[in-house]
């Protein structure tokens, strides 16, 4: 082949080849970015599912706590705050204190009678 023909063809290949190489490199770059974006989206989806599961667990615990607080005793009083057994014990204690006070009063009265006689 004639060298005078090869030189312009080589120049033409240089002119066309460099932009073509850039186009091919850009194509592979975009393809790689698409794979990265897909992986990123998959990780995001896994994170979103995990986060949604964690929120569902928190909401379940809140519902359990609400159920605990909503329980009432036979008088309709919330058991979480005041127990009926506590009121019963306090009533018994007050009755016993009243009995003891009455006994002490009777004892003092008897002692006073003994001194006066």
Q: What is the pLDDT of residues 20-62, one digit of tens each?
A: 777 778 888 888 888 888 888 877 777 777 888 888 999 999 9
pLDDT of residue 13: 67
Secondary structure (3-state) at 72: strand
Kindly tell me if the per-residue pLDDT of 1 is higher than 60. Answer: no
Residues with Cβ < 8 Å from 78, sequence gap 6 or more?
69, 70, 71, 72
pLDDT of residue 97: 96
Q: Which tokens sit at 79?
A: 């058991």
Cβ distance 68 to 80 under 8 Å?
yes
Kindly tell me if the per-residue pLDDT of 99 is higher than 90. Answer: yes
pLDDT of residue 26: 85
pLDDT of residue 8: 65
**pLDDT tens-digit series, residues 68-84:** 888 887 877 777 766 67
Domain ranges of the chain: 1-70, 73-117
Q: Which DSSP category does 76 fall into?
A: S
Q: With 0.85 as the threshold, say if the pTM is over it.
A: no
- What's the distance, Cα to Cα, between the start and end of the chain in Å? 157
pLDDT of residue 104: 95
Kindly tell me if the per-residue pLDDT of 67 is higher than 60. Answer: yes
């Amino acid at each position: 082949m004639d060298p005078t023909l090869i030189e312009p063809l080589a120049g033409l290949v240089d002119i066309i080849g460099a932009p073509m190489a850039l186009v091919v490199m850009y194509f592979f770059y975009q393809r790689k970015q698409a794979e990265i974006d897909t992986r990123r989206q998959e990780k995001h989806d896994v994170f979103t599912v995990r986060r949604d599961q964690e929120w569902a667990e928190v909401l379940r615990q809140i519902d359990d706590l609400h159920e605990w607080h909503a329980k009432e005793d036979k008088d309709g009083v919330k058991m979480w705050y005041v127990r009926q057994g506590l009121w019963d014990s306090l009533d018994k204690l007050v009755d016993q204190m009243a009995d003891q006070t009455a006994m002490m009063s009777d004892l003092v009265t008897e002692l006073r009678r003994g001194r006066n006689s």
